């Protein structure tokens, strides 16, 4: 067994039936914002005090369960007012202003782990909303996604949320438009929306757009497409709630039709690997490295039987 400089498993040995390579993508796994939120939670939990998290800390059930075993309790927004005097962690996705107001009114200590990239975007949207009251604030993102809810909150709930070009009918093309994007969306799709608005807006009407997509996430797309093309079979590991996971999985599938998505080892089918000599394992920005290693070890052990 050989380990790379990033402790990524690169396993090559002669098995009873075939020589097989199992390789974990070194660039898959938690993004900076998620690492920061989880590190913050673990540090607080070391004090032995109860820590609550407003919503799942990351869109991965396995990691949520790991932190739950350490004492992190996940709560809903409805439960927040009842936690008077408690500590509550805000995850990387960010929160709308009302959450901070509710916490202050109830003497709740906020541990703010909002991703700096998301926080900066919230501030940009709030400035645009307050300084351009005549404009429509449009956000390209997933309706109901935690980050988008926080972004929409900067406009008192008045922003127009669009998920695709099909939603452009929500916009009045006779009125000024200021467009932003959820940080984890596709750059190519954002540019398509920009082009569609440019071609539809009334002549002389102001259109301002801001590419607010996190490049640490966006840059994974070309890399993961390249990674997927190098192996006969790809196992993509992701939580079912992860929007980023769905995007990256589809990119893998486009590059390699023998791509399979799982959330844990109990979803693996050995038939996927019949005749394969190389297997690549990758995941979303919300997928912990330890889970990808667990998947690699499981495939190795099952093929040794």
Residues taking part in catalysis: 147
CA distance 296 to 287: 14
Could you give the C-alpha distances from 178 to 100, 192, 209, 217, in angstroms and in order?
26, 16, 6, 23
End-to-end CA distance of the chain: 18
Distant-in-sequence, close-in-space partners of 219: CB < 8 Å, separation ≥ 6: none
**What is the DSSP secondary-structure string of 16-30?**
SS-EEEEEE-TT-S-
C-beta neighbour count of 248 within 10 angstroms: 28
Which of 263, 259, 256, 228 is CA-nearest to residue 242? 263
Query: What number of H helices and E strands is found in the chain?
Result: 10, 14
Task: Note whether 236 and 261 are within 8 A (CB).
Answer: yes
Residue 113, judged by CB atoms within 10 A of its CB (0-12, 13-18, 19+), counts as: buried
Question: Phi first, then psi: what are they for 23, rounded to 5°?
Answer: -130, 130
205: left (phi over 0), alpha (psi -120 to 50) or beta: beta
Length reported for the chain: 305
Say how far apart CA 52 and CA 74 lie, in whole Å.
6
């Amino acid at each position: 067994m050989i380990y790379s400089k990033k402790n990524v498993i690169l396993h090559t040995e002669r098995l009873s039936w075939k020589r097989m390579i199992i390789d974990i993508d070194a660039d898959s796994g938690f993004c900076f914002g998620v690492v920061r939120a989880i590190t913050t939670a673990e540090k607080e939990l070391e004090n032995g005090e109860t820590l609550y998290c407003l919503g799942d800390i990351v869109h991965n059930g396995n990691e949520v369960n790991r932190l739950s075993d350490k004492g992190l309790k996940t709560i809903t927004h409805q439960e927040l007012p009842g936690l008077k005097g408690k500590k509550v962690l805000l995850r990387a996705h960010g929160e709308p202003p009302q959450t901070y107001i509710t916490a202050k009114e109830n003497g709740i200590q906020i541990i703010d782990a909002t991703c700096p990239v998301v926080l900066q975007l919230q501030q940009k949207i709030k400035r645009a909303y307050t300084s351009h009251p005549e404009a429509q604030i449009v956000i390209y993102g997933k309706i109901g996604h935690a980050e988008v809810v926080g972004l929409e909150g900067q406009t008192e709930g008045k922003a127009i949320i669009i998920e695709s070009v099909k939603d452009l009918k929500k916009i009045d093309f006779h009125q000024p438009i200021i467009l932003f994007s959820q940080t984890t969306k596709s750059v190519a799709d954002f540019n398509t929306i920009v082009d569609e608005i440019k071609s539809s807006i009334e002549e002389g009407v102001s259109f301002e757009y801001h590419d607010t997509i996190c490049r640490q996430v966006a840059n994974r797309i070309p890399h993961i497409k390249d990674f997927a093309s190098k192996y006969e079979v790809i196992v993509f590991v992701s939580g079912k709630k992860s929007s980023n996971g769905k995007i990256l999985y589809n990119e893998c599938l486009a590059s390699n039709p023998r791509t399979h998505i799982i959330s844990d080892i109990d979803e693996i089918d050995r038939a996927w690997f019949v005749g394969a000599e190389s297997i690549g394992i990758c995941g979303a920005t919300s997928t912990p490295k330890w889970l990808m290693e667990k998947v690699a070890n499981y495939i190795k052990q099952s093929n040794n039987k």
